[in-house]
Structure 1
Amino acid sequence: MPSPIPVTRLLPTDFGLLVGVCSSPLTKHTGALTLRVPNRTVPTKLASRLWSSVIYWRELRDLEPIGSGGFGLVFKGSYLGETVAVKRVKCAKNKLASRQSFWAELNAAHLRHPNLVRVIAASTQANGDDVMGESGDSVIGTIVMEFAGEMNLQQVIYSPAEPLRPESYATDIVRALQHLHSQGIVHLDLKPANVILTRNGVCKLADFGCSVKVETQHASVCRSEIGGTYTHRAPELLKGHEVTPSVDVYSFGITLWQMFTREPPYEGDRQHIIYAVVAYELRPDLNKDVFSPTGPGCVFKELIGRCWSAEPSNRPTAEQLLTELCELSL
């Protein structure tokens, strides 16, 4: 069974213990005192900063399904007067992987950053089955997040009618990575589909189901099996080596290439691509017109090449990337 969410990460210091009918992974539903989100009398601004181990199910309304994936469903709805996205994590064929994905989603739940999708509340309880119209038999947990936008970066890239600002989007993504890495968190699944665009054109990094925590920015953690998307996965991960923040920089390089070319990075058989990336340093084509001396991506060609270097130590850090991107935008 997963361990409880630490109480010290749940609520601001000005919140106490409240009595109410609610769901919490920290306690059984016995009517005793328990942590819960505030009711409507709490100012919206304060409620919007809340990260709680409780979902107050009666405040979760107007849910409509907007997406699905390997680990469950995503809904759009209203919670405490705020538009939210609700991820319902279900037990896939690999129960352990499903549980790991749910708890990994909460690695960055305590963080507040303009380029990260904010977690509002989460619970391992299934009290919301009636609200969500589902059976809770296979539910591992539910996560309530801010509703950041209607579109992700992948949809924008592959929709010719949609305007795309690679320089601005790249800076937003790197700001998110810099903050994550400074907090000892590696995303491990950075790709256009996991970047949400707000109505104001701001990028927010989402989906932490593959993330891991490391003690410091330069520390590493070894894992025999790493999730994520193979087209954006660093070669050292494909070889089963250690996880460091530089793997996110590699993924950023692939994503940045996609933003300029508006093309998929590879075509062909999955195993052949993985083998070529590891054995022959296969990378997307940097000889396209967009990277020519007269193309808009010409100044980014060298930067992309450094990001996806086969040697992790040759890649810039997120902090270095942010400095370079800010200088390029001047």
Structure 2
Amino acid sequence: QKYEFMSRTGEGAYGSVWRARDKNTGVLVAVKKMKDVPATEEVREGEIAMREVRVLQLAKHVNIVNLLEAYKSQSGRLYLVFEYVERTLLQELKGNRTGLPPAVVKSITWQMLQALGYLHKKQIIHRDVKPSNVLLTENGVVKLCDFGFARACDNEASDPAYTTYVVTRWYRPPEVLVGDHYGPPVDIWALGCIFAEMLIGRPLFPGKNHHDQLWLILKSLGAMTEHQLDLLEADPQFACFRLPKPSEIESLDQR
């Protein structure tokens, strides 16, 4: 093996991430080890991994994590090797429960906008922007990572076949929650949620489930579009959902 696996740093739905060392150069790297899956799921697992590889081969930017190589072991398991970055934004937030310094918030937000602007110009949607997918180097450089849900889009409005199983719940916008068409703005919504979280030290919309997530958003931001309301009424999973009353609306300033 080319790499010495040292410690596991993360676990996701499709694999685990390890801190490793290149045996030839001594350089630290991050290796994503894709999970072994049943034969019936091989295509799905392969699609996720190859999507990430294809996107990262196209996306070369200072604020996007660098994919060094991808290889398969003798057993057929896929490994993705990335530059090693020390910390995540999630770790920073856990260590600063009252929020990050304004200058740090500005720097991270600006760099994230550069990364997302670059991706969107290339017609790529990340679809899973959240604190654990924002890496921070010792010098304060932001690296957006985990492109397993990323995909190309031909225009701003998504194909209706795009899955709504994207974006971690707390960072999911109304159009995704109700099954509406979506596009690059879903990434900007997620960044807005992260921006607020960095300022106040806690998630902006920490929904306990699908219903609660939509309720918290509407309680702060008011009504959805008529089209989204129609989708909401037609969706059986929202059959018992109640829209907030005007007296229950609490603006972000009030919160």
Range of TM-score over shorter length: 0.7 to 0.9
Distance in 1 between residues matched to 2:110 and 2:55, nearest whole Å? 20
Change in 2 beyond 3 A, CA 1:288/1:277: closer
- Normalising by the residue count of structure 2, what TM-score does the alignment of the two structures yield? 0.75
Corresponding residue for residue 221 of structure 1 = 159
Look up the SS of the partner of 1:106 in the other structure.
helix
RMSD over aligned CA atoms reads 2.7
Amino acid at match of 2:13: G
User: Which among 115, 126, 130 is matched to residue 63 of structure 2?
Assistant: 115
Amino acid at match of 1:121: E
Amino acid at match of 1:118: N
Corresponding residue for residue 187 of structure 1 = 126
Distance in 2 between residues matched to 1:86 and 1:145, nearest whole Å? 6
User: Which among 24, 34, 53 is matched to residue 89 of structure 1?
Assistant: 34
Corresponding residue for residue 145 of structure 1 = 82
Distance in 1 between residues matched to 2:122 and 2:108, nearest whole Å? 22
2:13 is the counterpart of 1:70: yes
User: 1:84 deviation in Å?
Assistant: 1.0
Distance in 1 between residues matched to 2:100 and 2:205, nearest whole Å? 23
Distance in 1 between residues matched to 2:137 and 2:251, nearest whole Å? 30
Contact 2:197 2:204 in 1 (8 A): yes
User: Which among 40, 44, 49 is matched to residue 102 of structure 1?
Assistant: 49
User: 1:105 deviation in Å?
Assistant: 1.7
Higher helix share: 2
Amino acid at match of 2:73: A
Corresponding residue for residue 47 of structure 1 = none
Unaligned runs of 5+ in 1: 1-57, 128-135, 290-330
Change in 2 beyond 3 A, CA 1:62/1:191: closer
Corresponding residue for residue 45 of structure 1 = none
The CA deviation string for residues 236-271 of structure 1, in whole angstroms up to 9 with x for no partner, is 112222231111111111111101011122345313
Distance in 2 between residues matched to 1:151 and 1:257, nearest whole Å? 20
Q: For this pair of structures, how many residues does the alignment match?
A: 218
Distance in 2 between residues matched to 1:285 and 1:207, nearest whole Å? 33
User: Which among 89, 112, 116 is matched to residue 173 of structure 1?
Assistant: 112
User: 1:163 deviation in Å?
Assistant: 5.5
Distance in 2 between residues matched to 1:70 and 1:155, nearest whole Å? 19
- Normalising by the residue count of structure 1, what TM-score does the alignment of the two structures yield? 0.59
Distance in 2 between residues matched to 1:285 and 1:191, nearest whole Å? 23
User: What does 1:1-330 align with in structure 2 at a 5 Å threshold?
Assistant: 58-79=1-22, 81=25, 82-91=27-36, 95=41, 97-110=44-57, 111-123=59-71, 125-127=72-74, 136=75, 139=77, 141-148=78-85, 150-160=86-96, 164=101, 165-215=104-154, 218=156, 220-222=158-160, 223-267=162-206, 269-276=208-215, 280=218, 282=220, 286-287=252-253
User: 1:61 deviation in Å?
Assistant: 2.9
Unaligned runs of 5+ in 2: 222-249
Distance in 2 between residues matched to 1:282 and 1:105, nearest whole Å? 35
Amino acid at match of 1:203: V
